[in-house]
Structure 1
């Protein structure tokens, strides 16, 4: 099947004349796994377990051993080469991802979020996928459109949904301004030298192209489909300098990525541009072509609310029309909780990606530098509904603690495990992520305790399959081992989450604790640090699951923990369903009449317990 050059070439009738994979009944039941396709797998690994549970004997890349750490940075020259490799395509493919669906299934993942797969500007190293040149094709470095279909089909066959990362705020660096370099936003429209050709030179006219006159424009020049080549597709106002200034943050370019003009008007009177209508058709095509289950929408903050509302409505209607009643739209909305939930309510997006407050509070509560109330209060909106616990947030926010951008950390990017001793606390941070409200999302490599850190994004985007930019400063070693303790504890916690609906959908309460059994209060920092049991309950249909982590990585901690007064008679017992200390499994604690009702819990150092 040839790549279409125009939206008019698409045959939606034949694309939609089939049965599609149904949506999940409840997205809060799912566990997402976000992977950067270029950094995940090239399919050439040795000795990993395949989708059918068999050990693969072939392949060229051996499994990482602890002695391989630093094998790519032994000298200053090697270290420089390793760092340089981090800004280029490394070689991950859709076929590689397809070969690792079983690895993800056994981990307990039920939905994969894939970084953008669309064709990138050929002359640039936008391995991350956010520099699109052709919105109707897959980048050949990742594979083909049929490869995408095969990934989705394999995922569906293994009970895994697929969410695709999409962009309609901007395109890649497809044209050059007439000024030298990239002009800075000042509110005016800048003249354009021309569309870039395959070599990146602006030699093509800035208009809809006639291929009989400019045959070199296909497939690597200008922008495609043809409907996007109209000059009024772009705002042409130069790059953003002030990321919160209106209208600069709405109309400016993301550095060299060119801002798209979406339309005009207020939220309720918004008139979509021809380009926005075309973009909606593009993404309807991908839903139908690949049988996708959801979109993660990039840079929602930088688009007019009316544009996002229009897109959400059109996509949801199309998805429903083909039987996907709960196609999920997750928006990347920077600017804090208030902006995120306001945007959800006004635009019709299903959920916000929690990339501001949630990762900060998740990570640093576990490490002992945030009050527990700072995290648990993120799931409340007492100003509006004046309640202490809210199931409403269970499917309206995607929670995570590591991601590919880490906007919150500025120029000091670092994964959770980068801090000394943090590996001992990985069970606690996973438990806080997957056993509290929201739709949990794990960032690739977390299950192998990746420890990337550095001055920019590249250091938190290590390669899982080796190549020239492997994790732990290595090269040519892969990390698809299922014996890693981090992988095993994640698999155990996710299995527990699947088994108990309270851990997925229940109301949530941070619980008071006591050292002496008589004086109770919420756990909090003392002297700028907290080393304590931090317990919370999930309540669903008269059942309570009691979870607790220990923010002390060195010593076990014991505390009396308040539980629901009405559900538990004095003298009844709770049973340990999970503990990072295996000797606690299936042991029981007795309910006593303290602060209403309470039980005495001991939580291992840096560990987790779950009782029911």
Structure 2
């Protein structure tokens, strides 16, 4: 009897003791998004709350216009997901979220609610009037040496290591905005600057460990916001690089996932097959598709599972937070086809609802226009999928450009690639480029031929699409894989550098010549409406000479690219007369030379003419 009688007492005591202990160990570590705005088109907001045993509490909000719709617990006891409604007539202010435990203990988080800012939706977008300049922040300029290594991050500065952190930061970019603007650039795109707390190889930014925090080695959130504000004051725009496919293994949630399906989990490490066409292949096997969308990029880049609706909401809200917080002009989404494509379509729709003209470009590494067009076809695909993407990374044109000006030396490759533009919804909104952080340096890939690099620049800056250049290509940076060699430091970005290539004096004669060539085209381009909004008409290349026109009803520019090794005196323009009607003269904007007749022109070997036509 004593055993039967005493056991319930012990159980009851243990139960209350456990409850007491748990109640004493409730903490509140973070609430994300950390603040929000009134006036959003979508009045719903989902908060991720993290803290020890936080799911054992009940959240309470008493603030006019803010209501709790639901509270959800997942597998980990340390998370709560709170769904709110924030009415548009709610007043700005700071309200308390009170988390009450079973024994009455209270934790309070003060949540800041502000009014959504007015945006200039007609101007605050990126289009073909712009030229984008891509920067790898760690390798551009060290503006603040005091943050080269920080206490809250693992990897320390080691400039001698090509794969290490070199100390570039946001302040360094701010310090050289004039250089970028003087070159003729209108828009900056930064490789990811969010925290990457990895023990090594963290400089590139694609292993994010905190989606709401600028890496302290780059500065702080305010530093990035200052960069956006200063750029806007100079009439320039900012594109943020974001990643939904994976996070870094050092992410704060990795030691305590909200649920097992937060990540795409495998019994052993399984790498993606990196086969982009698996996302659009109508005959794809389930195993190939799963390996593409759920395989990991690397052991230190856990693959996020966007089938988890809480994670999908978390990431979508994160994009909206950064747009509103920093007044962004655009987002470049890394590895766009890899995550759940339906969630990615929803992401775009959600952003466009809040910010109608906001620029989004999807990284879509496809070599063929037929595959790339799946993501930008202007409507519904045969499988019923609509990506809602209207700007893609034009790798088919990139590869054709390398074939045109590289070893093959065949400019017909460009002609036949552009002839497939009918596949796209809007090819004129494609982001076109001749270099980026993932490929060998343009100068190296074109066999260090300055003339060929100039031809590439003349083409990229005058054909259809939104051009993007990679930092340093204007100064003939060289290098190829591995990545650390092609993402090299900009000379003069560090006080100890022997020369300062940000200045004319610090550049070689050849570097200045190339810089001036590109800058001349860029500055002319800013006011060339036919390049911004005009149509494209091109003529089949003959003897490696490619001629095309960019034109509107009132403006026209003729581009002649002589990709051959031969000078041609008095090259006849008779073949192009259909596009010369109404024009009697022109100005070569590169040399500032007037052409008094449009019957013939003199062509130099491996040179381009950009002729602004006049009557």
TM-score by length of structure 1 reads: 0.70
Deviates more, 1:374-383 or 1:497-506: 374-383
Give the corresponding residue for 1:518. none
Aligned position for 2:557:
545
Q: In structure 2, what is the Cα distance between the partners aligned to 1:295 and 1:10? A: 21
**Comparing 119-128 with 142-151, which one deviates more in the overlay?**
119-128
- Report the Cα offset of residue 170 of structure 1: 0.5
**Alpha-carbon distance in structure 1 between the residues aligned to 2:456 and 2:569:** 17
Residue equivalent to 1:262 = 306
| Residues 517-561 of structure 1: CA deviation (Å, up to 9, x unaligned) | xxxxx325xxxxxxx432211121154311112224675665323
Q: Say yes or no: does 1:364 pair with 2:396.
A: no
1:402 aligns with 2:441: no
Residue 348 of structure 1 aligns to a residue in which SS?
coil
Counterpart mapping for 1:339-488 below 5 A: 339-345=371-377, 346-354=386-394, 356-367=395-406, 369-381=408-420, 392-395=426-429, 397-406=430-439, 413-417=440-444, 419-453=446-480, 455-465=481-491, 477-482=499-504, 484-488=512-516
Aligned residues: 468
Which runs of 5 or more structure 1 residues have no equivalent in the other structure?
46-80, 176-193, 197-203, 208-228, 264-271, 320-324, 385-389, 407-412, 513-521, 525-531, 591-598
Would you say 1:286 and 2:322 are equivalent positions? yes
The separation in 2 between residues aligned to 1:585 and 1:567, in whole angstroms, is 18
User: 2:31 — aligned with what?
Assistant: 6
Please tell me whether the aligned partners of residues 144 and 169 of structure 2 are also in contact (alpha carbons under 8 angstroms).
no
**Whole-angstrom distance in 1 between the partners of 2:579 and 2:167:** 57
Q: Is residue 401–residue 416 contact of structure 1 (8 Å, CA) maintained in 2? A: no
The alignment's C-alpha RMSD in Å is: 3.0
Secondary structure, counterpart of 1:148 in structure 2: helix
Equivalences for residues 34-53 of structure 1 within 5 A: 34-43=134-143
Q: Hey, what does 1:608 align to over in structure 2?
A: 608
Q: CA deviation at 1:486?
A: 1.7
Which is worse superposed, 436-445 or 533-542?
533-542
Does residue 317 of the first structure (1) align with residue 393 of the second (2)?
no
Matched, 1:29 2:55: no
Specify the SS of the correspondent of 2:30. Answer: coil
Specify whether residues 348 and 476 from structure 1 end up closer, same or farther in structure 2 by C-alpha distance, changes over 3 A only.
farther
- Cα drift, residue 82 of structure 1: 9.9
Matched, 1:108 2:184: yes
Residues 1:576 and 2:587 aligned together: yes
Deviation at 1:494?
1.2
Structure 1 distance, partners of 2:479, 2:182, is 24
Using the TM superposition, give the Cα deviation of residue 318 of structure 1 relative to its aligned residue in structure 2, in angstroms: 2.2
SS at match of 1:255: coil
Report the Cα offset of residue 358 of structure 1. 1.7
Residues 541 and 416 of structure 1: CA distance in aligned 2, closer, same or farther (over 3 Å): same
Which moves more between the two structures, 540-549 or 14-23?
14-23
Spell out, residue by residue over 1:64-98, the C-alpha distance to the aligned partner (whole angstroms, 9 max, x if none): xxxxxxxxxxxxxxxxx999621011111111111
Q: Distance in 2 between matches of 1:166 and 1:302?
A: 13
Q: For the Cα contact (< 8 Å) 1:467–1:477, is it kept in 2? A: no
Aligned to 2:74: none
Q: Secondary structure in 1 aligned to 2:431?
A: strand
Whole-Å separation in 2 of the counterparts to 1:172 and 1:372 = 42
SS at match of 1:300: coil
1:242 matched residue in structure 2: 273
Unmatched 5+ stretches in structure 2: 1-27, 39-112, 146-156, 276-287, 378-385
Tell me the CA shift for residue 307 of structure 1. Answer: 1.6
**Partners in 1 of 2:479 and 2:569 — Cα distance?**
30
* DSSP-derived class of the 1:12 partner: strand
2:310 to 274, 284, 299: 274
**Cα offset, 1:446, TM superposition:** 1.0
- For residues 138 and 89 of structure 1, the distance between their equivalents in structure 2, rounded to whole angstroms, comes to 15
Runs of 4+ residues deviating >6 angstroms: none
2:597 match? 589
The answer to whether the Cα contact below 8 Å between 1:417 and 1:426 also exists between their aligned partners in 2 is no
Contact 1:424 1:553 survives alignment (8 Å): no
**SS at 2:180 equivalent:** helix
Q: Which has the higher contact order (CA 8 A, sep 6+)?
A: 1
Distance 1:578 1:391 in 2: 32
**SS class of match (1:450):** coil
